Structure 1
Amino acid sequence: MENIFNIQTEQDFLKASLEMFRYQYENVEIYRKFVDYLKISPETVNSLETIPFLPIEMFKNHQILDKNKTADLFFQSSGTTKMNLSKHWIADEKIYEESIYKSFKQFIGKPEDFIFLGLLPSYLERQNSSLIYMVDYLMKKSAQPENGYFLYNHSDLFNLLNTLEDKKVILFGVSFALLDFLDYCHSEKNGEPLSFLENLVVIETGGMKGRKEEMTKGELLKILQHGFKTDKIYSEYSMTELLSQAYSLGNNEYECPGWMKIMVRNAEDPFAYEKEGRTGAINIIDLANIHSCSFIATQDLGKMIGKKFQVLGRIDHSDIRGCSLLVS
């Protein structure tokens, strides 16, 4: 298989996807069993629409891994100890790191140009988070002494940001923690302008997780825009079972890197796809998932808007980190 990070055209993507399908059918046991169960012959798969997408729930009960590989590292979804959590076994973390770097550079800029701060308490409080791995890696590439994480110590974050007002800063934040931080900022300043906001880029990663009253994505973005005094709140969309990220630079409209694609399926018929602008369930092709499964049927709701897509909520309570919000 050619280097998936070199994909330039739709034709390149189709060719790489069909090659990946055939490779994973032969080498990923759970995926092969799933395709066989559907009574689909690999020879009949000749388009993206005919590729079978593995239900994301399969990551909760099976080790989905290339038979030619071993894996010591895994990412695990969030949840309580009583829940059956998804595990994504990672045979080659260098693929994940290359995907992280190239996606971030494409949509935001070179990681080396930024200071990275993480307001990610719910992720820091558990192990094996793919999001923490991602932010750790960006911090490592940035190598700025001010890089760091914050739990609920809002005063420390507030004070640090006030010393960085002339520098380019990325703040990755889980939704409820960003809202709590804004409450702190505005009580601290009592309506005075926040001087550190001019060069601050906020990237929300979703996730109310029952910590605050649920709201639509649009409502959340409006609150964050007002609080951070910016027209654009960026968002990042990914999940435990992926090795790639889509980014929104505003308006809840996400773009994928060249090796990732969103397809919106009909909620009743998994092999029928919705037209642009119509809501359905999200299928994801993530060609960085070379050694697990690149074709995943999620429980997220969304719609296509040209080459971009919106995330509108979820069908059930599957773990995602791009959006835990209700339908807009």
Structure 2
Amino acid sequence: MSREREAEALDERILATIEAWHHHNRPLSDAEFDDLALAIFAHQLRYDTAYAAYCAGYGFSLAALPSTWREIPPLPARAYKEAAIAAFPIDRADLVFESSGTTLGEPSRHYIEDRRLYDAALLAGFERAMLGDGARLRYLLLVPNPAQRPHSSLGYMMGRVAALFGDGETGWYLDEDRLLTDAFIADARDACDRGQPICLAATAFSLLHLVEAFEERRVTLPLPVGSRVMETGGFKGRARVVTRDELYARASRAFALPIDRIVAEYGMSELCSQYYDRPGSEIRIADASHRIKYAPPWLRTRALDERERDCPPGTVGALAHVDLANRSSCLAVLTEDLGALVDGGIVLLGRESGAQLRGCSLDAEDLRRS
């Protein structure tokens, strides 16, 4: 079978898996996840030269395959800065995403052969997490504008979401790194006057800047009933940091919005799928910055110790994600994020600079429920 036919067959299986969950709430069994993950892994060993070379160091090849998805070697995310991680000729990429970067130097590049996989994964996850009520919202976006940053995965994601689920009046309020506060306030007030619920999507840093602008002007803007905020990105690489509790409390005051209408999304340019908080759920950490995040069934995560062994649930490790939608790049990605597996989801606890947390168990006080 040719590479193209093999890729197409795998993509159809992945799309069917996403569709079954998105529209029919069909779960993915452990055996089904294993079967598809191992088929994708074999495909990547065959056609993804850089990843295959990395896996050879773990003793894996087409002649010696793992027996379960947990044995698939996770490729460090920094490898996307150092090599073309792709199971196809990169000049055929349908999408190319670049990281915003947490350190100086070259951004990572994620080459995606067929945007159908990315679109299906992002839209299914967003609709389930953010649009359970089926609302048609006005999207006011404090994320990179694709017109200026065409390789931003976050900008692409929110552009697709707004085009499919929005009211046709989408606004973008970042001009490069400058926040267009006056334009945002004018458009938000217009939506309020019309009683049009809003989805404000913002990076944590942009949301902080917006809230500070409201506070400096002594402005509050009660958003219409049904409005919500999606926050993402944290404060990676920023000199100024506030806790999520503080950020959410200040945003709640600025927009007269219940804190449980503020949802955190967790994703990365090297993945096609995302995690989300489950707002209003009783299964969450009392501290908003430690809410449990949940993934769709085609995305699974391991927490690893220093020797890349699985940590017990509730024990802090480096997070390694296995994303079946990453068929054309690398399905297993080792991050620099620290976290723990809790109640079928993950809790984020910082970056690798806090490596002293690795191997620490979260006790009952740490996991106190709200």
The question of a shared fold, defined as TM-score above 0.5 by the shorter chain, is answered with yes
- Asked if 1:95 is matched to 2:134, the reply is no
**Alignment-derived partner of residue 148 in structure 1:** 171
- Asked if 1:22 is matched to 2:45, the reply is no
Aligned partner of 2:313 among 260, 276, 295: 276
List per-residue Cα deviations over 1:156-206 (Å, max 9, x = no partner).
21222222232222111111221221222244445xx53325332111112
- Work out the CA distance in 1 between the residues paired with 2:61 and 2:268: 29
- Work out the CA distance in 1 between the residues paired with 2:268 and 2:31: 26
- Work out the CA distance in 1 between the residues paired with 2:103 and 2:151: 14
Number of aligned positions between the proteins: 314
Greater shift in the superposed pair: 18-27 or 179-188 = 179-188
**Alignment-derived partner of residue 324 in structure 2:** 287
Greater shift in the superposed pair: 162-171 or 98-107 = 162-171
**Alignment-derived partner of residue 221 in structure 2:** 194
Query: SS of 2:347's equivalent?
Result: strand
* Contact 2:81–2:109, Cα closer than 8 Å, also in 1: yes
TM-fit CA distance, 1:274: 1.0
TM-fit CA distance, 1:10: 2.7
Aligned partner of 2:264 among 235, 239, 263: 235
Q: Runs of 5+ in structure 1 lacking a partner?
A: 318-327
- Work out the CA distance in 2 between the residues paired with 1:123 and 1:249: 28
Query: SS of 2:70's equivalent?
Result: helix
Greater shift in the superposed pair: 61-70 or 288-297 = 61-70
* Contact 1:154–1:181, Cα closer than 8 Å, also in 2: yes
TM-fit CA distance, 1:127: 4.1
TM-fit CA distance, 1:11: 2.5
**Alignment-derived partner of residue 256 in structure 1:** 295
Classify 1:30/1:24 alpha carbon distance in 2 versus 1 (closer, same or farther; 3 Å). same
- Asked if 1:13 is matched to 2:46, the reply is no
- Work out the CA distance in 2 between the residues paired with 1:125 and 1:81: 21
List per-residue Cα deviations over 1:111-149 (Å, max 9, x = no partner).
872221111259876441000010111121135232110
- Work out the CA distance in 2 between the residues paired with 1:184 and 1:34: 47
- Work out the CA distance in 1 between the residues paired with 2:267 and 2:77: 13
**Alignment-derived partner of residue 85 in structure 1:** 107
**Alignment-derived partner of residue 65 in structure 1:** 86
TM-fit CA distance, 1:44: 4.9
Identical counterparts, % of pairs: 27
Counterpart of 1:215, as a letter, is V
**Alignment-derived partner of residue 284 in structure 2:** none
- Work out the CA distance in 2 between the residues paired with 1:297 and 1:81: 17
Counterpart of 1:95, as a letter, is L
Counterpart of 1:31, as a letter, is Y
**Alignment-derived partner of residue 298 in structure 1:** 335
Q: TM-score normalised to the size of structure 2?
A: 0.77
* Contact 2:140–2:171, Cα closer than 8 Å, also in 1: yes
TM-fit CA distance, 1:30: 1.2
* Contact 2:137–2:166, Cα closer than 8 Å, also in 1: no
Query: SS of 1:283's equivalent?
Result: strand
Deviating above 6 A after TM superposition, structure 1's stretches of 4 or more consecutive aligned residues are: none
Classify 1:217/1:124 alpha carbon distance in 2 versus 1 (closer, same or farther; 3 Å). farther
- Asked if 1:118 is matched to 2:129, the reply is no
Aligned partner of 2:68 among 9, 23, 47: 47
- Work out the CA distance in 2 between the residues paired with 1:197 and 1:11: 45
Greater shift in the superposed pair: 158-167 or 22-31 = 158-167
Greater shift in the superposed pair: 240-249 or 250-259 = 250-259
List per-residue Cα deviations over 1:277-322 (Å, max 9, x = no partner).
11110000111111111111111111111111111111159xxxxx
- Asked if 1:32 is matched to 2:32, the reply is no
**Alignment-derived partner of residue 173 in structure 1:** 202
- Work out the CA distance in 2 between the residues paired with 1:50 and 1:257: 21
- Work out the CA distance in 2 between the residues paired with 1:212 and 1:176: 11
The one of the two structures with greater contact order (alpha-carbon pairs below 8 A, sep at least 6) is 1
The Cα RMSD (Å) is 2.7
